[in-house]
Structures are given as structure tokens and as C-alpha cells.
Amino acid sequence: MTRIEAVRGDITREHVDAIVNAANSALLGGGGVDGAIHAAAGPTLLAECRLLRATTHRDGLEVGDAVATGAGDLPARWVIHTVGPDRHRGQTDPAQLASCFTRSLAVAREVGARSVAFPAVSAGVYGWDADEVARVAVAAVRHERAAHPDNEDVIDVVRFVLFSDRLLAAFEAVLA
């Protein structure tokens, strides 16, 4: 059974199979978590993202979808990029946010990841409330866990790695 936990920390230092990047649709780096992951991963990550843009994702990645690349210099093996909904652009459907988590877990299973670290997708510059992100994220992970109870491709650990005490408190409240 999948263990779900929340910690305060730096996602770029997580020793898990896959970390999830709160990417923008261009997949070419940005600010916040996306910028930190690209900076820590080194040039290999950007090269893989450029290859995706030149081949399978010419128009970028859609909100709620996910795709994997290698992790470059990170301690993880893969980076799973997902694009969260931007509340400032009117993207307020919780189903789009939930899809970021469920699609990322599906991609993690596809690449064989057994441990995954998530940031609080859309809780930063995309304007979603921390409590709502925590509720949606944890519900999505629990739903995915219930949908895959005994498969060999089960993910053992899902860790929410949060950069602030406020985000950590929101996730801990939902996990309690």
C-alpha cells in the first residue's frame, strides 16, 4: 500500500525515483519550483525538454497532463513534468488540478518509479489556495492508490515536499 507523507524541504534534494515538476506548458524552465529543478538538474534536463518540444509535444504540455524525462544531475532518476491550472487565467476547475497528480502518478508507474515526490502544484504563482491544493492533491493520490491496490506497479511512497510552513500545515491537516 502506498504511504503518503508531507515534509518541509527542497524537492531538488529528494532521493526518490521521480520528482514532479510544476512546469509551464513550454517545458523549457521558468520560475519557482520549475526554475529550481532546471537549475539543479543541469543542462541535460533542458536538452530533454527541448527534444520533447521538437517531437512529441510540439505545442507544449496541456494543463493537467504529465510527461517524464531523465533527471540530469538530480538525485532522482526521473522528472515528471506537469502543468497546473493557473487561477489568474481563469483555470479554476479542481479536476484540472487533480489531473496533475493522477497523470503524474500514471507516468511514474509507466517508467517504473516506486517513490515520487510532489510539490504543491499551482499553490505558488498560479494562485491556488494552499488548503484547496492540499485537499485536491491528497484526494487524487488516495483515489489513485485505491485504483491500484495490489498491482506490481504500485508506488510505495508519495511524498509532498513543501517549501513553506504554511503549505506543510495545509497538507498535514488533510493527511491527519
CA distances from 104 to 13, 68, 72, 88, 171 (A): 19, 9, 19, 23, 18
Known active-site residue 73: no
Strands in 115-118's sheet, in edge-to-edge order, are 3-8, 157-162, 115-118, 18-23, 78-83, 66-70
In 112-164, which residue ranges form alpha helices assigned H by DSSP?
A: 130-147
Q: What are phi and psi of 51, to 5 degrees?
A: -65, -40
Which burial class, exposed, middle or buried, applies to 9 when counting CB atoms under 10 A from its CB (0-12, 13-18, 19+)? Answer: middle
* Angle of the 130-147 helix axis to the 94-111 helix axis, nearest 10: 50
Of 34, 73, 129, 165, which is the active-site residue? 34
Taking the C-alpha atoms of residue 38 and residue 45, their distance in angstroms, rounded to an integer, is: 7
Q: In sequence order, which residues have a C-beta less than 8 Å from that of residue 89 and are 6 or more positions away?
A: none
Taking the C-alpha atoms of residue 3 and residue 91, their distance in angstroms, rounded to an integer, is: 30
The residues carrying an active-site annotation are 34
